[in-house]
Amino acid sequence: MTAPERMELPGDTAVNGSTGNGNAGGAPLLTVEHLTMRFGGLVAIDDVSFRAEDRKITAIIGPNGAGKTTVFNCLTGFYKPTVGRLTLQREGRAPAYLERMEGFRIAGEARVARTFQNIRLFPKMTLLENLVVAQHNKLMRASGYTVRGLFGFGYGREEQKAVEQARYWLEQIGLVDRADDDADSLPYGDQRRLEIARAMCTEPVLLCLDEPAAGLNPRESADLNALLTFIRNEHRIGILLIEHDMSVVMQISDHIVVLDYGRKISDGDPEFVRQDPAVIRAYLGEEEEEDLPDIVRQDLSADDAGGAGAPS
């Protein structure tokens, strides 16, 4: 641990909601403590700790290969972390430890929804079907686990509710007219937004978006910003965001975590991260060093020593 810690985290024993970190206000929704993921000899994530708060947009940024998507895969149960604790704290409920849960339970019970870097819709199903499938667990109970539904008792009303929920989200993303078209007939930007709508249909408390703005043009990016701000403000959930597009990150994030080579190099509000020399170095390279003040240079060389030892 030679790298300087810019933000103190609560100890690894208890989840302590009152510990301030500069942008206090929301309750800590997700607490990631000492998350480490090794694939054989490769350390993809090395002792990363951060928090995502309720009703806030937390962005995870970093150069390619920094381990951002691996963090997501650990959070949503696609990988089992080698070390670490992932605590989801909901009001009035016992904390859920995501590292112990199976993937589909994280989505169904802990209510963490996610989207994917390469869009994963159900391409040959319609938009409406995509959104109704997302409400599977609720509808499954309503259909009496198929037995009752097979004979059509009392299931129609629940299905109607699910359709209304789908209609609401289709309205938010402006695709109601295309509700009955196949998902793969949509243009790329619409598919991205449909995936977000589908994730929202699971009624999550934490929405994890893996590069939602990738491949979008400026107008579509602006739409996306509006949609995410809307979700945060109106639906009052936490959003965790991986993004390369700085126009999205800087405009809408409340809090940014920067990863490089699997380690956290910066953590704070957008203004802080924007001026953090470690971040500038990670993104722009070493040339900047000459213009930096002495304190920062020392800081960086210390960082280098730590960074070089971490991988492999």
Partner 1 sequence: MAATIPHAGRPVDRRGILIELGGTALVVFALTVSLVGFHIKDISGGIALDLRFVDVASAVAIAIVVRGWLILMRHGHHRVVAASAAAVAAVLVVSLLFGGAGVQPWLPFKAQLLQWLLAVLSAGFAIGSAVRMARERRPVLSGAGAAQDGAQDGAAPDEQAALMDRVSAQVQRNALWIGAVLFLAAAAFPFMPGVNLQYLDIAVLVLTYIMLGWGLNIVVGLAGLLDLGYVAFYAVGAYSFALFASPDSPLLQDLGWTEGVSFWLCLPFAGLMAALAGVALGFPVLRLRGDYLAIVTLGFGEMIRVTLLNFYSLTKGPDGISNIPPPSLLGYSTQSKMDEETLENTTEFHTAMGWEFDQADTTILLYFVILAMALATNFFTVRVRKLPVGRAWEALREDEIACRSLGINPTNTKLTAFGFGAMFGGFAGSFFATRQTFVSPESFTFIESAVILAIVVLGGFGSQIGVVVAAFLLIGLPEIFRELQEYRMLFFGGSMVLIMLWRPAGLLAHREPTIRMHGRRARASTGSGG
Beta bridge partners of 51: 31
Read off the amino acid at residue 154: G
Q: Could you say whether residue 197 binds partner 1 (CB under 8 A)?
A: no
Q: Among residues 69, 79, 73, 89, which one has the least CA distance to residue 26?
A: 89
Kindly identify the residues of this chain, within the stretch 52-81, that bind partner 1 according to CB under 8 A: 76-78
For partner 1, which residue of 199, 239, 249, 256 counts as binding (CB under 8 A)?
A: 199
- 28-39 β-sheet, strand order: 42-53, 28-39, 83-88, 96-97
In whole angstroms, the minimum distance from the beta carbon of 238 to partner 1 comes to: 17
Identify the burial level of 53 via C-beta atoms within 10 angstroms of its C-beta, where 0-12 means exposed, 13-18 middle and 19 or more buried.
buried
In whole angstroms, the minimum distance from the beta carbon of 148 to partner 1 comes to: 10
The 150-189 contact track toward partner 1, x by CB under 8 A, reads x-x--x---x---x--xx--x-----xxxxxx--------
In whole angstroms, the minimum distance from the beta carbon of 1 to partner 1 comes to: 34
In whole angstroms, the minimum distance from the beta carbon of 222 to partner 1 comes to: 26
Q: Using the 8-state DSSP alphabet, how is residue 126 labeled?
A: B
Sign (positive or negative) of CA dihedral 209, 211, 212, 213: positive
Binding residues for partner 1, total number by CB under 8 A: 50
Give dist(CA 178, CA 148) in Å, integer: 31
Question: Nearer Cβ to partner 1, position 121 or 216?
Answer: 121
Give dist(CA 307, CA 302) in Å, integer: 9
Applying CB under 8 A, the residues found at the interface with partner 1 are: 76-78, 103-105, 107-109, 113-114, 116, 120-126, 128-129, 132-134, 136-137, 139-140, 142-143, 145-146, 149-150, 152, 155, 159, 163, 166-167, 170, 176-181, 198-199, 202
